[in-house]
Structures are given as C-alpha cells and as structure tokens.
Amino acid sequence: MNVVDPIAAEATKLFESVYGGRPQGLWAAPGRVNVIGEHTDYNEGFVLPMAIDRYTVVAAAKRTDGRLRVVSSAGDQRVIEVDLAALTPGFPQGWTEYPAGVAWALRGAGILKENFTGADLAFVSTVPVGAGLSSSAALECSTGLALAGLAGAETELSTADLARLSQYAENAYANVPCGPLDQLASAFGEDGRVLFIDTRSFEIAPHPFDLAAAGLTLLVIDTKVSHDHGESGYPARRASCEKAAAALGVRALRDLTPADLERAQRELDEVTARRVRHVVTEDERVEQFVSLLTEGELVGERLRAAGELMTASHVSLRDDFEVSCDELDVVVDAALRAGAHGARMTGGGFGGSAIALVSVGDAEQVSESVLAALPQAEIFRAIPAQGAHRVR
C-alpha cells in the first residue's frame, strides 16, 4: 500500500463527516528533511533536502458562494470559514493562515480567477507540527495544488510556481521570513533522491540517495521541543545576515568565500562575523557532500567524510549561528556516542528535530542511546519520497 493511501482515506472520511458530501479530489505534499545546508537558503546559497514519507493530504471540493472553508483532523476539528474576496495578511490567525495565504497568493498571481467560487478543504497530516520538518510547506503545497485543481488551472501552476507562491504566502501573509528551501523540497521531491538546490538560480539537481543499498538509514529524532519561526530567533538571524552582506558589499553571503572570512572578522562585530562564518562554511560543506554523492554510494571513506560534514554542520549551527538548543545537542551527542556516522539538527532550529546517519545494524542501539538521553524524543526512519502531487 502506498504510504499516502491511508492518509487519503482519513481525509476523505473527515471531509464527508464535516461537509456532508464527497470530495472532488485529493492532493498530497510531503514534509522534508534537510540533509545539510541550514540557514543558507535565504542567503542565496546551497541546500540538500529530501522530501520524506510523511504527508499532508487535503480532500477538496468546490463551493459556489465565494467562501473558503477549512478543517483539520488535528485539534478540535472546528471549521474555519472566510470570504475569498476579503482575504488579507494576518487573518485568520493560527494554522489557517497558511491555506488562506496560499489562496490569497494564487488569486494575486491570477491562477485563481475572479470567478473562482470557493472551496471546502479537509486536511489530514502525518508531518509532525513544530518539529522542523516543514509541516507548513506541506500544508501550503497541498493547498496550492488542490485549489488549482478545483479551478481547472493545473497547467497554469508549474511546480516552480507552486513552491514560489507557497513561500510568498508564508512570507507575506503569515509573516514568517522563511527562505525557499522548505517549499522547494516539498514541491520537487523525488523518490530515492536528495535535491541539490542553488537557491539563487533555483537550479535543482536530484542525486540518488539509496541509503538501504549502502546498509544505512536516516533516523529523524523529534525532540518535541516545538518552535515557531515567526516568534523564535529566526528573523533576527536573517536580519543579521542581510546586514552583514550589505556591510561587506555583496548581494548575499553566498557571494563570500572562505578567503573573505578574515575581512569579515575585521569589519564586523564578533557575533555577526560568526554568523557569516557559518553561512560561508555551510555552503562549502553542502558542495563537499554533493561531491561525495557524485562519486558513488556512501561507503568506506565517503561515508566517514559525509558523517563528518554533517556533524561539523551541527557544531557550526550550535556555536557560530547559535540556533540549536540543549535538547538538540543532547540527542546529537547521544547518537554519535552510540555509533552514528554523523548527526546534526535539521530545520530552522530553536527546537525541532535532529537527524542521524547510521548503519542499519546500529539503528537500534543509536535509538536506545538517544531515548536514554532524552526520553521524550520520538524517532522514526525517513526515506526520500515523492513531492507534491494529486492522489486522485
């Protein structure tokens, strides 16, 4: 059975119980894990995410009164209703900002015409919320596909536009200053592949990532420390990077090389210089990791080097960018002690999840070590999965 099928069945059941009819279609979009390349996307740098086999599915049908109604299986299952013509950034509040924002963005882009008469949407998701696994991007991308599908505008909404407009909705409507990483990963994900993305050009190069063939697995460790990019230190980090780029006379920190770090230390305050050092060295780590993948499976020396890059990424995020937290550091250290080849926080930080690259035979002992260090953690294995798509 396809991993999406039971989620789709649950979404159909929710739709029928709430709205009293059958949905006209179902659409799905995945969460993501970023293997390496954190806080580089809004600096126009390099990232290496993969969509994961955790999905948000929306069951949807058209309305005729210009209203948008949304409901989720999470929480109290209360239906939120808004007038499409009255959508404005910041309203409604809460999780419904995301689907409402996508509808607003699609209307502004002309994908949803003035004669689009509304929709009923019912969401079911297996992407953990607040875990740094892009639950918001999964919600946005599934909504975008559903609304375009109901409007008969599938051919007008390219995959790139789906990602771009979903990010725009999160930035401009929900007031979350995220970069494009999450939406690109959710929209473009491929089975069995990671995506090497240049976030300046939006060039996307898929690379095979068959961990099972190399005797490996990727553990996702949800610390259960919830985060909110809009309220955490994320906006401050982004502002610091933009300030540094302006001071150093470049369009974005992506334009700096390791040779520029000495100048950054001279011309910037100590904290801002460390932020710059993280971004510059993280871009370099992404490119080195991709080079390892192009050479073949992660075995032997390549595996050792890949693990070291992941762990170095975490150290940089912890010490230079200061977006980790005690719980993330604890689980990363516990995974490494138990034999993980590499481990790092993934996502924006200030809570959320870590990942650990482990040999299949060591997965149980690594999990036990992590749970002994942080009993509240939830651990699951992730594989590269298909991006946003219509289910039926």
Instruction: Give the residue from 81, 171, 157 showing the smallest Cα distance to 112.
Output: 157
Can you tell me the distance from the alpha carbon of 25 to that of 61, in angstroms, rounded to the nearest whole number? 7
E-strand ranges in 14-155 read: 25-36, 46-62, 67-72, 80-83, 118-125
Task: Mark whether 182 is an active-site residue.
Answer: yes
Rg over alpha carbons for the chain, rounded to the nearest Å, is: 21
The CA distances from residue 227 to 129, 131, 132, 201, in Å, are 9, 7, 8, 29
Neighbours of 191 (CB within 10 A): 14
Which SS3 state, helix, strand or coil, does residue 177 take? coil
Burial of 372 (0-12, 13-18, 19+ CB in 10 A): exposed
Choose the catalytic residue: 161, 182, 320, 333.
182
Question: Which uninterrupted H or E stretch holds 318?
Answer: helix 300-319
Residue 387 in contact with residue 27, Cβ under 8 Å? no
Neighbours of 323 (CB within 10 A): 24
The CA distances from residue 159 to 108, 276, 280, in Å, are 17, 32, 29
DSSP symbol at 190: B
Q: Which two tokens stand for residue 371?
A: 């749970």
**Catalytic machinery residues:** 182
